[in-house]
Structure 1
């Protein structure tokens, strides 16, 4: 059996916590959570989501950390090692393989969307630079443009394949560079520098929104539940978001858990990660909605909330160009800390199972994900206008990005989480679980009950409704 760079491990518990929070906190928190909260009516969705995080997400998070810590290798090998110790079939290792494949596919389109974020960093940085040169550093963003012109910027980007390809390449290249440098020199160093920056930016923009935005209506919208809006569709969305926001089902936490040193208290560590991740999601809502509501825009704008609604809102806000630039830098930081954890999953498999060097494994999987990402971004531009010969029309008519996103989010992630719950809840050796997690007897019984019964049932619901949407119809 190969081990994944056994010489490496997190230098401290705090380093693992920062890296794991970075893995969990990503576009799912800053973009997807406010979008779902807005579309789902606010309070009822938010409260149900918080319940899902702690009744479902936290037990699964601890299960993945346990597998990695006990297995001490890549996701496939870790599950296989725990299965061997528990006298279970070695075929359980395929669950780790499923997570690695899911991570690879997620990275391919994740990098494309993160490229959009880079584009908007450039847009607002350019506007802020113009404001500085004009002696008006605190003017509104994108001054002089109406709503239609600002919203058209997204369409202009989609119509520029070279620009999207360039942003995709820059983001993927940065991800490869960090992961290729290893756990200490790359992943841990990035987390210890970027996560404090992330929290400073997040809290700063929340304070800005509280001062110049509509915090009163935001608090009412997010935390005053209208239970009539808690439909089966909303509950299913909250269940899925709890998995997505904690990066469960793609083996990233298993892989990070394999680098944990002895003596780390897994239960309290998992709880801290879950609390931090949920706090970031809520702060994202408190950051975005005061700005949106203060200018009379629709909080239920859907996926265009970040890329079209907010840029228009920044236009009329004091220091809008500066805040807009910082806001998209914030999203970029969240995206890069998540992307490195996603790439680490197949990279660790290549090192641990195939015996490849880290640079080779990183380049193979990162390069392949980049190529798949190109196919994803082709569906988001007007190729037929750029290439009149029509060769690229086959891509322009395919929504590959949304297809891959839907397949991984609705099927692969829930499937991976389901089998992790069943494996740890039913198959893992109880003595090994108790010794590795360090949980008290009462907490151990509760955790195993949630994993064995509640988590599989809830995740199965997500999976079934993803496969058969008519169930909720």
Structure 2
């Protein structure tokens, strides 16, 4: 095992390569896979989007993920200090650590609103659990979900949650508390143990619900929708959405992967490990589509329902399906596991930075940062009711009509993440010492030359497009 950021506290890194893979897959697999990917596939026409997305993961996402791991292990510290150390060892300005700082801040801000959205999942776990329990007590545990409630009322459950500031804040607080507890427990006793238990449970639930959907839903139509490309739908806006999703889904630019890379032992070959993590994350997104769309299509719902697909359309679908109350409960537990493993990495990056920067003990750093993120999240939650008219960046055209949560989401996703990714690609592709990153990457010869060429040329161009079209969306539509 290797020393982690904040090594003055005597912590150690991952106990094995598999522990690292599970933790990193957990960081990447989150709401972006289970909620955002099916939503974007549905909104953007299915197969053509999926095909272009896969290309973006292979050509952009995977090389950048390896870059983050290389910087982390070479620097053996938090994202800021790791970037600074690699720059120093490469004989370039330590100001390049700015991309590490952007990543840490982006991850922290994402955590603040991510916890609010994950709180919605807790609310639906509670509703689904109560529904399943009432059915079980009535002697019908395998009946459809919410049998005594009309479809309009089921679809309106989310609206009822948004109208209650107290409920929103309570579920947000519950999710943040679990995240803080795990991160405060340490790398080995907290993050690694959580990943070791949560990820196998997540995969088991994913497979089981997918099999259920294949037999009870319309699996054939779902396969055709996901994997039959209609290239007439592959417009510039769709391609940019796919590129941005590949970046977002792999948790690039948020500080967690550099920090996780700092905990990796020298005998772990980073290149095949990064490939395994990237491909696993992508496979989860595809299986999530095969889990959701057979159910949605099987009951005649609209696959392009957008963000409402998970929290409004699917609960209605579970009403009419055999064992819907049980499957609904398991489905939202699965989403909770995915959200939690990602939130852990979002908090770990800033926590490692605070330990190194201020010499704080891990529990203190995790609790202070968790509390601050929670308070920002409270503002996001109130943006759905009490502060519904507040527009934090109303003076800025692209954010003129967005509420507090969507403004934070847009600012981090459209500006901070791609900016950090762009600087990372330039740093690793052009500035970092060749021998240093070659030794850390696990690549050599032609494979190393190809990877660095992609990082130096293709990745900056692609990430610049995400940044450019995020700031000026009108460019895509003429």
Say which SS state the counterpart of residue 156 (structure 2) adopts.
helix
Residue 252 of structure 2 is matched in structure 1 by: 248
* Structure 1 equivalent of residue 269 of structure 2: 265
Q: Tell which deviates more after alignment, 398-407 or 176-185.
A: 398-407
Cα distance in 1 between the residues matched to 2:211 and 2:114: 29
2:88 aligned partner:
84
Q: Measure, in 1, the Cα distance between the counterparts of 2:132 and 2:232.
A: 44
**2-side partners of 1:131 and 1:320: how far apart?**
11
| 1:20 alignment partner in structure 2 | 24
Q: Give the corresponding residue for 1:231.
A: 235
Across the two proteins, how many residue pairs are aligned to each other? 463
**2:110 aligns to what?**
106
TM-score by length of 1: 0.96
1:377 alignment partner in structure 2: 381
Structure 2 distance, partners of 1:354, 1:449, is 37
Structure 2 counterpart of 1:72, from 72, 76, 85: 76
What is the rounded CA distance, in whole Å, between the counterparts of 1:217 and 1:3 in structure 2? 49
Residue of structure 1 equivalent to 2:398: none
Whether 2:291 is the aligned partner of 1:287: answer yes
Conserved in 2, the CA contact under 8 Å of 1:379 and 1:398?
A: no
Residues 1:312 and 2:280 are matched in the alignment:
no
Find the partner of 2:426 among 422, 433, 449: 422
Matched, 1:48 2:52: yes
Separation in structure 2 between the aligned mates of residue 285 and residue 413 of structure 1, nearest angstrom: 25
Could you tell me how far apart the structure 1 residues matched to 2:35 and 2:125 are?
Answer: 15
1:94 corresponds to which of 89, 92, 98: 98
- Per-residue deviation at 1:341? 0.3
Q: Which one of 199, 206, 215 corresponds to residue 203 of structure 2?
A: 199
Going from structure 1 to structure 2, the CA distance change for 1:460 and 1:321 (only over 3 Å counts) comes to: same
- Structure 1's consecutive aligned runs of 4 or more residues displaced over 6 angstroms after TM superposition are none
Determine helix, strand or coil for the equivalent of 1:288: helix
In the alignment, is residue 120 of structure 1 matched against residue 100 of structure 2? no
Retained in 1: the 8 A contact 2:144–2:324?
Answer: yes
Q: CA RMSD in A?
A: 1.3
Rounded Cα–Cα distance in structure 2 between residues aligned with 1:89 and 1:117 = 44
Q: Which residue does the alignment assign to 1:4? A: 6
Counterpart of 2:212 in structure 1 is 208
Pairing partner for 1:451 from 455, 462, 467? 455
Q: Please name the residue that 2:281 is paired with.
A: 277
Q: Which consecutive unaligned segments of at least 5 residues does structure 1 have?
A: 384-391
The alpha carbon displacement at 1:395 in A equals 4.7
Aligned-partner SS, 1:460: helix
* Aligned-partner Cα distance in 1 for 2:138–2:5: 58
Deviation at 1:121? Answer: 0.4
Q: Residue 389 of structure 1 aligns with which residue?
A: none
1:379-403 superposed Cα distances (whole Å, 9 cap, x missing partner): 112x3xxxxxxxx576599710000
